Amino acid sequence: MKVSPPELMHEISAQSVKVASAPNRADWLRYCALVAMWGSAFALSKISVAEMSPSIVATGRIWVAVALLYGWMVYRKHRLPRLLPKPDVRWLWFLPVGLSGSALPFLLNAYALQVLDSGMVSILLATMPLFVAALTHFTIPEDRMTLGKITGLLLGLFGIVLLVGPTLLQDLGGPFALAQIVVLLTAGLYALNSVLIHFMPETPPSVSATGMLLVGALVLTPFAIIDAVHSPMPSLGSLISLLFLGLAATGIGSIFYMQTIRSAGPSFLATSNYFVPPFAVFVGVLFLGESLSTMAITALMVIFLGIIIERRNTPKQNSPKQSK
């Protein structure tokens, strides 16, 4: 099962991929742009939560992306599924997929970024493919565990222990330990999201992305309004960070993702999983003055090694259904 970087997991649609050709120059340019946008999303979120509550940050970025993606959906000559008088069954899927792929992960990530460095959060989220591998064993018959996959999962688990173990022992029950657990929970939610989308009725990706984000935004909006009423006006810098977070990482990133998948296929984008965390760490160090311990770098390498072994032992999917 193809795995996409966590910040865009809600856009994955295995049924929507056309037969891919070799990547061209435009594909490589979009690839580099996606790594940059997804990698910088952690720093932008960190800046935003410094002055806004997690619910406001999560809701704001989703609504900005919904506006952009709705326009893209209309440009593609698609429309959202029927809601009245009898709702289309896809709305029943948009709710759990929207919650697990946008609303809850964005909210939990924003909460964790109040305490953790952006680079640390990106490394913890890099474990998401390992959660996917564990879930697909129980849900997708053609993607069962093998000795190689188990080896990869155990290596990834060892990397997680290296990364969070010292904090859990030193700060048991404290904010840093809790924040790390929250990010790992977020990785699990993204994994659940990818499995749900695997079984989702065939839907054009522009429609599924818009519908999922719309549902996520509607769920979070009441909480964001309550927080906004009791919060001071954030600075212009924080608002600009939130705007770029919604436009770039969540909105434009979704469009570039769908275009590249159609042109070059999901395997081409799979390797972006390995470049987003290092880029996020680089941005955090350069612009936010963050630092990364030798232990964290070692843990990242161990986690990546586990993911590589797991992916090499994952059977390739048959050609998926096509959807315009």
Q: Check residue 102 and give its pLDDT.
A: 93
Q: Does the residue 166 lie in any domain?
A: no
Which of residues 13 and 173 earns the better pLDDT score? 173
Q: Does the residue 139 lie in any domain?
A: no
Q: Does the residue 108 lie in any domain?
A: yes
Per residue in 32-54, pLDDT (tens digit) is 999 999 999 999 999 999 999 99
Q: Check residue 299 and give its pLDDT.
A: 85
Locate 73 and state its tokens: 């959906």
Q: Check residue 267 and give its pLDDT.
A: 65
Q: Does the residue 20 lie in any domain?
A: no
Q: Check residue 322 and give its pLDDT.
A: 33
Q: Check residue 315 and give its pLDDT.
A: 62
Q: Check residue 172 and give its pLDDT.
A: 57
Q: Check residue 321 and give its pLDDT.
A: 39
Q: What does each C-alpha distance from 319 to 9, 13, 253 come to in angstroms? A: 20, 13, 24
Give residues with Cβ within 8 angstroms of 306, minimum separation 6: 130, 151, 152, 153, 154, 155, 156, 157, 158, 159
User: Which amino acid, one-letter code, is at 165?
Assistant: G
Q: Does the residue 71 lie in any domain?
A: yes
CB 245 within 8 A of CB 1: no
Which of residues 25 and 320 earns the better pLDDT score? 25
Locate 77 and state its tokens: 């000559």
Q: Does the residue 75 lie in any domain?
A: yes
Q: Does the residue 281 lie in any domain?
A: yes
Instruction: Answer yes or no: is pLDDT of 3 > 50.
Output: no
Which of residues 137 and 18 earns the better pLDDT score? 137
The total number of structural domains that make up the chain: 1
Give residues with Cβ within 8 angstroms of 27, minimum separation 6: 260, 263, 264, 268
CB-neighbour burial class of residue 77 (10 A; exposed 0-12, middle 13-18, buried 19+):
exposed
pLDDT mean across residues, the chain: 84
Q: Which structural domain, as residue segments, surrounds residue 281? A: 6-14+27-126+172-289
Tell me what percent of the residues of the chain surpass a pLDDT of 90: 46
Q: Mean per-residue pLDDT for 187-199?
A: 86
Q: Does the residue 59 lie in any domain?
A: yes
Instruction: Answer yes or no: is pLDDT of 9 > 70.
Output: no
CB 44 within 8 A of CB 106: no
